[in-house]
């Protein structure tokens, strides 16, 4: 079930303005074609979601199309596990690339032919400097580079070596193909960048067909042009690569020349959005998997219960700019709450149970209380029957011995309301040999059915509870932020792993739920009263059902208290 959070048209931003101007001016015959170009070397994260929303939404607004293209030029790091998950995630986010699923690997022949043409036009040459020499010749930001001694290698020689590189005659690293641009350019990317290297590696798509692979910069612009992309939207780190993007397209024989436009990456506090770091968290077992609900991955957020509408709403709210921006995780959580709240049924769950025996409730009897699923009069989610009987569970934290007067929950001699049920008073506390409280003996007032006293007497506390005889046994996983500092990867001297939050997962393996949750379904979210929003976990290996906390509550209990007086 999905609720559209924001029906508003997304706010204008500089990219939308530029594209609108292009369309109005009739550029590209008024067409808009964008693409989302992930490298399949990891799962998608919230940063990618920003790029996906931008590319697909903007194409949609102008009746254009958006391609999904795998920029798969790095055989060692890529895998079909990733291409599969990426497609699933983009679809789940609500976007459709139609027939436009592409792979840079499908262009390897074309890319090779263009490279041969560049050599023939004396715009590329085979270089055999070692990586160390290459670095030395490249120069620095302040000093220009030096021409490679191989720069003027005869065209025929370069062509011959390139052909033999492709045929597999040489070891990795012996030769590279470089574009012949300008070793004194202030932009290091233009100092004769490598466009092909030898890699004897199996590719997840082309197998062992190739042992030379084109570089990202060379591949990306040509792939865009081959697909007729009009606007190539990417993140700011590619700004300095734009001259190279344009150089390649200006120096090969191709009709299309997409416009590259850069915007700032999304950085979210209390988390990391780098596939390399996320991969490290998985590989080194700091989290269970890429879709661990603590991960900022699309699959992690999905498993945690974040609706796709909330993620889209978040991406629209943060907007698109060229400024570095670090966004608060709280904003994402707000979007999640706003999306979930109207659809989440309110139910009762006890995470850390403490038994309560109602001594004046008749033994062997029980009753059904009709409880609405949502407190808001304007939101009709119906109601359910909640059993009430002599033995109940309440939250351990809702009882305190020798409680201070400000403790508005249960204590010996005090009266509280059980939500939707009755007022109860605690008369006796039972402890085990270790002195721990294991049971409370209470009495209830039958004249307070529904949680209201006919004589108008008030109580300060309202507790949630579950009938012991009917409770479902489940495991509840309460997630918190994965990192304990706002900028875990800010300090280059200290590993981001040092900042992991040791309490990011709290497992309640003896939780009790009201029986209506026996029919809980994946993709439905619930509010466990006073505890937060929860959903059923998708892939659990435990015997009991597992519920994940999607997001904590905010002030909602305060509101209920106020309503009840
Ligand atoms: P990472 O640093 O996580 O490895 P990446 O840029 O290498 O990210 P790609 O798979 O190449 O990952 O990214 C696909 C697209 O998503 C690119 O166009 C990239 O600019 C965009 N993208 C990646 N991270 C972010 C982010 N944090 N915010 C916005 N867009 C992003
Ligand atoms: Mg990348």
Take residue 515 and report the two structure tokens written for it. 């029986």
* Long-range contacts from 449-455, C-beta under 8 angstroms, 24+ separation: 449/421, 449/422, 450/369, 450/420, 450/421, 451/417, 451/418, 451/419, 451/420, 451/421, 451/422, 451/423, 451/564, 453/423
Measure the CA–CA gap between 388 and 369, rounded to whole angstroms: 7
Measure the CA–CA gap between 289 and 278, rounded to whole angstroms: 10
Q: Which residues line ligand 1 (CB under 6 A)?
A: 37-39, 47-48, 50-51, 234-235, 265-266, 273-275
User: Nearest bound ligand to CA 52?
Assistant: 1
**39 counts as catalytic:** yes
CA dihedral 466, 469, 470, 476 (to 10 degrees): 60
Take residue 343 and report the two structure tokens written for it. 């659809």
Q: Is 209 exposed, middle or buried (0-12, 13-18, 19+ CB in 10 A)?
A: exposed
User: Nearest bound ligand to CA 36?
Assistant: 1
pLDDT over 90 at 50, yes or no: yes
Domains delineated in the chain: 14-101+220-330 (3.40.50.620), 109-216 (3.90.800.10), 349-464 (2.40.240.10), 474-564 (2.40.240.10)
pLDDT digits (tens, 9 = 90+) for 371-385: 999 988 888 999 999
pLDDT over 60 at 562, yes or no: no
47, 215, 300, best to mutate for ligand 1 pocket (most atoms within 8 Å of CB):
47
pLDDT digits (tens, 9 = 90+) for 295-335: 999 999 999 999 999 999 999 999 999 998 889 999 999 99
Residue corresponding to tokens 């958006």: 66
Q: With b meaning 16 or more CB within 10 Å and e meaning fewer, what string describes 23-42?
A: beeeebeebbbbbbbbbbbb
Closest C-alpha to ligand 1, atom 27: 47
User: Nearest bound ligand to CA 38?
Assistant: 1
Take residue 319 and report the two structure tokens written for it. 């907007």
| C-alpha 266 to ligand 1 mean position (Å) | 9
pLDDT over 50 at 199, yes or no: yes
Closest C-alpha to ligand 1, atom 10: 38
**135 counts as catalytic:** no
| C-alpha 293 to ligand 2 mean position (Å) | 24
| C-alpha 13 to ligand 2 mean position (Å) | 23
Measure the CA–CA gap between 434 and 455, rounded to whole angstroms: 41
Which entry of 27, 265, 355, 460 is annotated as an active-site residue? 265
pLDDT at 555: 43
pLDDT at 375: 87
Closest C-alpha to 458, from 562, 340, 331, 321: 562
What's the whole-number mean pLDDT along residues 473-478? 96
Helices (H) and strands (E) in the chain, counts: 13, 27
Q: Is 434 exposed, middle or buried (0-12, 13-18, 19+ CB in 10 A)?
A: exposed
According to DSSP, the β-strands at 532-536 and 525-528 are antiparallel
Which entry of 69, 180, 275, 304 is annotated as an active-site residue? 275
pLDDT over 80 at 11, yes or no: no
pLDDT digits (tens, 9 = 90+) for 343-374: 999 999 999 999 999 999 999 999 999 999 99
| C-alpha 235 to ligand 2 mean position (Å) | 9
Position 9 confidence tier, pLDDT thresholds 50, 70, 90? low
What pTM, to 2 d.p., does this model score?
0.93
Q: Dihedrals φ, ψ of 181, to 5°? A: -120, -85
Which entry of 39, 128, 391, 439 is annotated as an active-site residue? 39
Q: Map 374-413 to HEC letters.
A: CCCCCCCCCEEEEEEECEEEEEHHHECCCCCCCCCCECEC
pLDDT over 90 at 336, yes or no: yes
| C-alpha 39 to ligand 2 mean position (Å) | 6
Q: Give the C-alpha distances (Å, rounded to integers) separating 515 from 469, 500, 506.
A: 10, 36, 23
DSSP letter for each residue of 37-79: ---SSS--BHHHHHHHHHHHHHHHHTT-EEEEEE----GGG--
pLDDT over 90 at 5, yes or no: no
Mean pLDDT of the chain: 94
Closest C-alpha to ligand 1, atom 4: 275
pLDDT digits (tens, 9 = 90+) for 434-472: 999 999 999 999 999 999 999 999 999 999 999 999 999
Measure the CA–CA gap between 118 and 483, rounded to whole angstroms: 48
pLDDT digits (tens, 9 = 90+) for 247-290: 999 999 999 999 999 999 999 999 999 999 999 999 999 999 99
Position 554 confidence tier, pLDDT thresholds 50, 70, 90? confident
Check: CB of residue 53 under 8 Å from CB of residue 93. Answer: yes
Ligand 1, closest atom to CA 50? 29
pLDDT over 90 at 558, yes or no: no
Beta bridge partners of 179: 124
Check: CB of residue 179 under 8 Å from CB of residue 248. Answer: yes
What's the whole-number mean pLDDT along residues 208-232? 98
pLDDT at 78: 82
pLDDT at 8: 54
36, 45, 49, 51, best to mutate for ligand 1 pocket (most atoms within 8 Å of CB):
51
pLDDT digits (tens, 9 = 90+) for 59-103: 999 999 999 999 999 998 888 999 999 999 999 999 999 999 999
User: Nearest bound ligand to CA 276?
Assistant: 1
Q: Is 295 left (phi over 0), alpha (psi -120 to 50) or beta?
A: beta
pLDDT over 50 at 113, yes or no: yes
Check: CB of residue 34 under 8 Å from CB of residue 2. Answer: no
Measure the CA–CA gap between 278 and 295, rounded to whole angstroms: 8
Ligand 1, closest atom to CA 278? 3
**143 vs 76, higher pLDDT:** 143
| C-alpha 103 to ligand 2 mean position (Å) | 15
Helical H segments across 227-346, by residue range: 242-250, 275-283, 298-304, 308-318, 329-340
Measured at the CA of 30, the angle between CA 24 and CA 32, to 5 degrees, comes to: 110
**275 counts as catalytic:** yes
Ligand 1, closest atom to CA 267? 27
| C-alpha 48 to ligand 1 mean position (Å) | 5
């Amino acid at each position: 079930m999905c609720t559209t959070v924001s029906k508003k048209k997304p706010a204008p931003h500089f990219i939308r303005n530029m594209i609108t101007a292009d369309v109005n001016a009739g550029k590209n015959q008024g067409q808009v074609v964008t693409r989302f170009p992930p490298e399949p070397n990891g799962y998608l994260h919230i940063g990618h979601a920003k790029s996906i929303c931008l590319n697909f939404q903007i194409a949609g607004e102008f009746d254009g199309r958006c391609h999904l293209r795998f920029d798969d030029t790095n055989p060692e790091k890529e895998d079909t596990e990733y291409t599969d998950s990426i497609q699933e995630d983009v679809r789940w986010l609500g976007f459709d690339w139609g027939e436009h699923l592409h792979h840079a690997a499908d262009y390897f022949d074309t890319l090779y032919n263009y490279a041969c043409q560049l050599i023939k036009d004396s715009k590329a040459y085979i270089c055999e400097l070692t990586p160390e020499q290459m670095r030395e010749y490249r120069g620095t930001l302040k000093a220009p580079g030096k021409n490679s001694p191989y720069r003027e290698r005869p065209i025929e020689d370069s062509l011959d070596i390139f052909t033999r590189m492709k045929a597999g005659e040489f070891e990795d690293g012996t030769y590279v193909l470089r574009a012949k641009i300008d070793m004194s350019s202030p932009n290091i990317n233009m100092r004769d960048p490598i466009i092909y290297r030898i890699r004897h590696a199996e590719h997840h798509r082309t197998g062992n067909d190739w042992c030379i692979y084109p570089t990202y910069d060379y591949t990306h612009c040509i792939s865009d042009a081959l697909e007729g992309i009009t606007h190539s939207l990417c993140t700011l780190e590619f700004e300095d690569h734009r001259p190279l993007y344009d150089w390649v397209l200006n120096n090969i024989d191709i009709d299309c020349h997409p416009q590259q436009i850069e915007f700032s990456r999304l950085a979210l506090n209390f988390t990391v959005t780098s596939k390399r770091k996320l991969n490290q968290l998985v590989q080194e077992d700091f989290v269970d998997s890429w879709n661990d609900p603590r991960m900022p991955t699309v699959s992690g957020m999905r498993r945690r219960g974040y609706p796709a509408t909330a993620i889209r709403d978040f991406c629209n709210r943060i907007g698109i700019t060229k400024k570095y921006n670090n966004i608060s995780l709280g904003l994402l959580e707000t979007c999640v709450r706003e999306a979930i709240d109207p659809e989440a049924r309110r139910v009762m769950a006890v995470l850390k149970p403490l038994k309560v025996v109602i001594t004046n409730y008749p033994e062997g009897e029980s009753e059904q209380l009709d409880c609405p699923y949502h407190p808001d009069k304007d939101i009709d989610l119906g109601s359910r029957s909640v059993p009430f009987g002599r033995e109940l569970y309440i939250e351990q934290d809702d009882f305190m011995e020798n409680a201070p007067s400000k403790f508005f929950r249960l204590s010996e001699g005090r009266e509280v309301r059980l939500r939707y049920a009755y007022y109860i008073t605690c008369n006796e506390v039972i402890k085990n040999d270790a002195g721990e409280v294991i049971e409370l003996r209470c009495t209830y007032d039958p004249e307070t059915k529904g949680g209201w006293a006919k004589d108008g007497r008030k109580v300060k506390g309202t507790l949630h509870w579950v009938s012991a005889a009917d409770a479902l046994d489940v495991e509840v996983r309460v997630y918190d932020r994965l990192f304990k500092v706002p900028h875990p990867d800010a300090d280059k001297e200290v590993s981001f792993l040092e900042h992991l939050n040791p309490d990011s997962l709290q497992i309640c393996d003896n939780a009790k739920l009201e029986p209506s949750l026996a029919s809980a379904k994946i993709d439905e979210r619930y509010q466990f009263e006073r505890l937060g929003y929860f959903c059923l976990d998708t892939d659990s290996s435990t015997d009991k059902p597992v519920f994940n906390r999607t997001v904590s509550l905010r002030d909602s209990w305060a509101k209920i208290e106020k309503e009840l007086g």
